[in-house]
């Protein structure tokens, strides 16, 4: 099929940081060709200076992460026919939230710094009794989701929090943290959760936007792992964050009224002693009232809301036994 590719180019020797140039290529490709096949063909036949990183060509090594039409993908796993129709142009860029070295090649140093930040190794208190740790199969199967991570950086590329805050540990490293929190051979579970709960850029900074779940080529679903760690951190007694207060207040409101009590949620998340934040909220509240809208002081309720309360009570009592 006839395909048009628009490729982002950056040459560190002649261009300043943040600059880029777009090169367009038109080529005839087999319908089953991948974006990587096309890029390699460009490099071999059209422009030998095109820099890209790839190795296994079988979505195992995680080297060829790039943005295709605005979304992070492994280009070896992405067929041309799946991302374009005859006559449309495929836009190929380096991954986002990574520094660019040249053309489509990004620096992964910050990526691995974040992975190192979560101590990605087992920390048992004692040596195993028989020379090796014996664990059951279920506990290892549980880890498979996160262990499937091939460190390609696709989730980091499209993370909406990293876009505004470099300090966020990010989806890949947090999924890696989960893998060690959940490993029965590790004895630092509580310490890990405490750290992830409190550190700047920890588990509470995720916005739950599903971008990482959507772009991960290995179904690691980092966001789901982060949400599980929020619950684990709370269960382990970490209740000193606005994230905890937010979740608790939300849950209490739905349990009691069947609906969300927005005003109370805002105040309780801030914390009753957080005066600057409460003044801030009051400002928005007053402006809303002046515009003729404000969540009712008496919260709105679902009809027969006691039925919803009963479901909460039943699930909670089952969870506690």
Partner 1 sequence: MKFAFYPGCVARGAGPELFDSAVAVMDRLGIEWVELTGASCTGAGVLQEKDQKLGDILNIRTLAMAEQLGLPVMTICSTCQGVMAQADRRVRKDADYLEEINGYLAEEGLSYSGNTTVKHLLWVLVEDIGVETLKKTFVKELSGVNLAPFYGCYIVRPSDALGFDENPERQTSLETVIESVGGNVVDFPGKTACCGFPILLINQRNSLRMVANHTGTASELGADAMVTPCPLCHLNLDGYQPKARRQNNRGKADLPIIHLPQLLGLAMGMDAKELGLGKHLVNTKDIVGKVESIPVAS
Contact set with partner 1 (CB under 8 A): 70, 160-161, 163-165, 168, 204-211, 213-214, 227, 230-231, 234, 241-243, 246-247, 250-251, 253-254, 258-262, 265-266, 269-270, 277, 280, 284, 287-288, 291-296, 299-300, 302-305, 307-308, 310-312, 314-315, 319
Name the minimum Å distance from CB 38 to partner 1.
Answer: 23
176 vs 245 by CB, closer to partner 1: 245
Q: Which helix (H) or strand (E) covers residue 320, if one does?
A: helix 306-320
Alpha carbons 43 and 51: distance in angstroms, whole number:
8
SS3 labels along 69-111: CCEEEEHHHCEHHHHCCCCCEEEEECCCCCCEEECCEECCHHH
190 vs 262 by CB, closer to partner 1: 262
Alpha carbons 100 and 20: distance in angstroms, whole number:
10
Name the minimum Å distance from CB 244 to partner 1.
Answer: 10
318 contact partners, CB below 8 Å, separation of at least 6: none
Name the minimum Å distance from CB 294 to partner 1.
Answer: 7
Name the minimum Å distance from CB 159 to partner 1.
Answer: 10
Name the minimum Å distance from CB 131 to partner 1.
Answer: 39
**Of 1, 66, 24, 72, which Cα lies nearest the Cα of 215?**
72
30 vs 307 by CB, closer to partner 1: 307
Q: Which helix (H) or strand (E) covers residue 7, if one does?
A: strand 2-9
119 vs 248 by CB, closer to partner 1: 248
Residue with tokens 């089952």: 318
1 vs 234 by CB, closer to partner 1: 234
């Amino acid at each position: 099929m006839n395909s048009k590719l628009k490729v982002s180019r950056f040459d560190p020797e002649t261009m300043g940081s943040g600059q880029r140039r777009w090169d367009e290529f038109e080529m005839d490709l087999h319908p089953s060709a991948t974006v990587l096949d096309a890029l390699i063909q460009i490099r071999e036949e059209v422009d030998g200076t095109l820099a890209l990183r790839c190795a296994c060509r079988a979505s195992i090594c995680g080297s060829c992460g790039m943005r295709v039409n605005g979304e992070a993908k492994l280009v070896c796993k992405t067929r041309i026919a799946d991302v374009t129709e005859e006559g449309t142009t495929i836009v190929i860029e380096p991954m986002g939230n990574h520094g660019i070295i040249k053309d489509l090649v990004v620096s992964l140093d910050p990526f691995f710094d974040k992975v190192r930040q979560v101590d990605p190794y087992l920390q048992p208190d004692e040596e195993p009794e028989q020379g090796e740790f014996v664990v059951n199969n279920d506990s290892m199967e549980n880890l498979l989701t996160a262990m499937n991570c091939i460190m390609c950086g696709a989730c980091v590329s499209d993370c909406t929090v990293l876009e505004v805050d470099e300090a966020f540990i990010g989806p890949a490293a947090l999924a890696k943290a989960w893998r060690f929190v959940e490993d029965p051979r590790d004895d630092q579970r509580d310490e890990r959760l405490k750290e992830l709960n409190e550190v700047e850029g920890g588990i509470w900074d995720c916005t739950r936007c599903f971008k990482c779940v959507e772009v991960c080529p290995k179904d690691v679903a980092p966001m789901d792992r982060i949400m599980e760690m929020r619950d684990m951190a709370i269960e382990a007694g970490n209740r000193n964050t606005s994230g905890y207060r937010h979740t608790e207040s939300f849950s209490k409101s739905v349990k009691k009224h069947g609906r969300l009590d927005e005003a109370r949620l805002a105040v309780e998340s801030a914390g009753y002693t957080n005066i600057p934040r409460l003044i801030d909220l009051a400002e928005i509240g007053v402006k809303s009232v002046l515009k003729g809208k404000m969540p009712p002081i008496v919260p709105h309720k679902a009809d027969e809301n006691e039925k919803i309360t009963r479901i909460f009570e039943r699930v909670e009592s089952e969870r506690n036994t």
